[in-house]
């Protein structure tokens, strides 16, 4: 493809910037940027709901022309992130599901999507969901069992190993040898861990022999270094457990808060000798490293059942950049729909990233949080209004893709 002259590229960018639905329709400026050496990096997170309850179920689903996966691919083709985390994408050791999604969905132009989209680099690894612990974690008198009982006693809730996994896709090389994973980190290792307690007795919910073994991460926490054209960016990704589906002891609420707190501690100064990855390397992220935190963190700053102080402390961390919260027209419409049903909503309706039904309503659960040192050039949530044509592809998941455009040149 021939290179655009600088003047023509600048003119094209001005014209494209005038489009009224740039945030919904994706990235029409990407082509011009690729031609004129623009340093913008588009980073996104998307809870895709690409999971199944049976081992290998997602593979079998993707082997057909799965309508839900086609919608997810369509959204990605529209937004065209350079670096993206997919939450709730079932893990399999051979990477067969990831292969199928790449070749049969992303690399094929989808109805309502855009041009085929190729990611030369990806990262996936085992997660705690569905992995039997051999312990009675839900205190029902037995370890394991069938259905939900089996899921409750896994290291992270899941009906088979790898359910609700993580998948990182990148247009730029991933330094796999330097990836740090925290799948095995013990919850009790965290100083001041929020150990769940029985509110009727004040005693710890988990017996000592269980608490000492319980893993902090319900899936895993990954530090994935990506070699972008403007330097290494540490992609800090996770998917903490929902702070619900428990009892008055609030064990999932406590775990969600401490899973979020792990990133706060990872960014904070100090040796942090307890913060050891799965290879035995201990300590946090160097003070001069640039990063982007991404994921479905399952915690709204003001709404829902989460311990809101955990997400607020992360948002206010000195190393996390302040920028205008991503927003969408669709979130405003749906939140308004719940106003007459009695669902309380204190946060800004435009900031919600998902619709979680008549009991919970809309909430902001999905985040892309860059480090200071980046200039944030734009952001959005792919949640078009119901009247927009793009709405036909936006319902592949109960979550919506969140994206942020970053300039590594500085603030």
pLDDT score for 230: 85
In whole angstroms, give the CA distance from residue 80 to residue 169: 11
Q: How far apart are the first and last CA of the chain?
A: 32
pLDDT score for 4: 30
**CA neighbor of 251 nearest in space, from 299, 291, 175, 194:** 194
**pLDDT bucket at 343, cuts 50 / 70 / 90:** confident
Yes or no: say if 382 and 394 are a contact pair by the CB < 8 Å rule: yes
User: Where in the chain are the domains?
Assistant: 1-38, 39-127+162-407
Percent above pLDDT 90 for the chain = 86
In whole angstroms, give the CA distance from residue 274 to residue 284: 10
Percent above pLDDT 70 for the chain = 90
CA atoms within 13 A on the CB side of 102: 16
Per-residue CA distances from 169 to 77, 86, 317, 395 (Å): 13, 8, 26, 21
Looking at per-residue confidence, does 355 or 36 come out higher?
355
Predicted confidence (pLDDT) at residue 74 exceeds the cutoff of 50: yes
**pLDDT bucket at 17, cuts 50 / 70 / 90:** very low
Element (H, E) at 256: helix 251-267
Lowest mean pLDDT segment, chosen from 14-23, 105-114, 398-407: 14-23
Yes or no: say if 86 and 169 are a contact pair by the CB < 8 Å rule: yes
Who's near 137: CB < 8 A, 6+ residues apart? 143, 152, 153, 154, 206, 210, 214
**CA neighbor of 307 nearest in space, from 244, 398, 353:** 244
pLDDT score for 340: 79
pLDDT score for 121: 98
**pLDDT bucket at 37, cuts 50 / 70 / 90:** low
Architecture of the structural domain at 39-127+162-407? 4-Layer Sandwich (3.60)
**CA neighbor of 75 nearest in space, from 387, 380, 324:** 380
Average pLDDT for the chain: 90
Lowest mean pLDDT segment, chosen from 82-96, 135-149, 310-324: 135-149
In whole angstroms, give the CA distance from residue 6 to residue 376: 23
Q: Taking CA 407 as the corner, what is the angle to CA 405 and CA 409, rounded to the nearest 5 degrees?
A: 175
**pLDDT bucket at 382, cuts 50 / 70 / 90:** very high
Per-residue CA distances from 302 to 227, 334, 357 (Å): 35, 18, 17
In whole angstroms, give the CA distance from residue 238 to residue 121: 19
pLDDT score for 14: 32
Predicted confidence (pLDDT) at residue 132 exceeds the cutoff of 90: yes
pTM of the model: 0.90
pLDDT score for 10: 35
Predicted confidence (pLDDT) at residue 228 exceeds the cutoff of 90: yes
Yes or no: say if 167 and 224 are a contact pair by the CB < 8 Å rule: no
pLDDT digits (tens, 9 = 90+) for 291-340: 999 999 999 999 999 999 999 999 999 999 999 999 999 999 999 989 87
pLDDT score for 409: 65
């Amino acid at each position: 493809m021939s290179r655009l002259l600088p003047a023509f590229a600048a003119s094209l960018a001005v014209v494209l910037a005038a489009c009224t639905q740039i945030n919904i329709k994706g990235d029409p400026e990407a082509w011009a940027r690729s031609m004129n050496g623009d340093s913008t990096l588009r980073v996104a997170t998307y809870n895709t709901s690409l999971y199944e309850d049976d081992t290998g179920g997602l593979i079998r689903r993707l082997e057909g022309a799965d309508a839900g996966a086609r919608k997810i691919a369509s959204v990605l083709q529209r937004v065209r992130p350079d670096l993206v985390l997919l939450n709730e994408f079932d893990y399999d050791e051979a990477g067969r599901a990831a292969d199928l999604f790449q070749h049969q969905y992303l690399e094929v132009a989808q109805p309502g999507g855009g041009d085929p989209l190729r990611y030369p680099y990806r990262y996936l690894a085992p997660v705690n969901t569905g992995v039997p612990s051999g312990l009675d974690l839900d205190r029902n008198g037995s370890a394991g069992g069938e259905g939900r009982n089996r899921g409750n006693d896994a290291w992270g809730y899941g009906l088979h190993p790898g359910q609700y996994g993580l998948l990182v896709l990148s247009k730029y090389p991933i330094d796999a040898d330097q990836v740090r994973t925290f799948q095995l980190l013990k919850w009790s290792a965290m100083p001041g861990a929020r150990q769940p307690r029985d509110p009727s007795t004040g005693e710890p919910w988990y017996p000592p022999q269980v608490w000492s073994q319980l893993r902090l991460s319900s899936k895993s926490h990954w530090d994935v270094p990506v070699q972008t054209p403007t330097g290494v960016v540490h992609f800090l990704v996770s998917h903490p457990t929902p702070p619900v589906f428990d009892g008055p002891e609030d064990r999932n609420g406590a775990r969600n808060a401490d899973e979020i707190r792990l990133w706060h501690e990872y960014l904070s100064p100090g040796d942090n000798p307890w913060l050891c990855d799965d290879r035995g390397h201990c300590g946090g992220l160097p003070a001069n490293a640039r990063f982007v935190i991404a994921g479905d963190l399952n915690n709204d700053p003001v709404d829902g059942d989460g311990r809101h102080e955990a997400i607020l402390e992360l948002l206010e961390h000195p190393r996390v950049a302040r920028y205008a919260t991503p927003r969408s027209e669709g979130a405003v419409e749906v939140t308004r729909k719940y106003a007459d049903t009695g669902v309380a909503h204190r946060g800004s309706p435009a900031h919600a990233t998902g619709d979680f039904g008549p009991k919970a309503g809309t909430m902001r659960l999905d985040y892309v949080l860059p480090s200071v040192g980046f200039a944030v050039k734009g952001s959005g949530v792919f949640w078009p209004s119901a009247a927009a044509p793009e709405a036909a592809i936006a319902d592949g998941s109960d979550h919506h893709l969140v994206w942020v455009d970053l300039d590594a040149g500085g603030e």
